[in-house]
Amino acid sequence: MDIMEMGASLLSQKLGMDIDPNVVASALGGLLSNSSGDIDFAGIASKMASSGDLGAIVGSWLGDGANQSISAESITSIFGSDKIAEFAGKLGTDAGTATSGLADVLPQMMDKSSSGGSLLEMAGGASGLLGAAKSLFG
């Protein structure tokens, strides 16, 4: 099972909705992908690392050990309310329900994708993420 299938399955379970897994995967892909259509966990991690308190949260997702939780409000701040509304619309639910589901599923998806450190290395390691964040404010 690839990371998008896993995320679609987890999100469907979390939302308790009977939605075609392909629709959920497509909605997740639209939200999590960059302009090239690739899942952009490294970009999401960098954005979170540059957002103060979210840096420690994303670090827990990328590292070994327990994943820290994230609030639905933080999910909205990462992606923007317009993209969240579009995502929720594709799922046939409201933005609050969609962000609540994402708050549970996104940490698991990023944790799984970083197994063995590959995502963390792509983003330049933990120090690379923090360095990228510092450069935004420097």
pLDDT band (50, 70, 90) for residue 76: very high
With beta carbons less than 8 A apart as the criterion, state whether 133 and 55 touch: yes
Polymer length in residues for the chain: 138
Tracing tokens 């309310």 back to the chain, one arrives at 81
Domain of 14, CATH number, reads 1.10.10
pTM: 0.80
More confident residue, 11 or 63: 11
In tens, the pLDDT along 29-64 reads 999 998 888 889 989 999 898 877 898 899 899 888
Determine the Cα–Cα distance for residues 111 and 138; give it in Å rounded to an integer. 29
Alpha helices in the chain (DSSP H): 3-15, 21-32, 41-49, 54-62, 72-79, 81-91, 95-113, 118-122, 125-137
Residue 134 clears pLDDT 50, i.e. is over it: no
Q: What is the domain count for the chain?
A: 1
Q: Which domain holds residue 65?
A: 3-137
Q: What is the pLDDT of residue 122?
A: 45
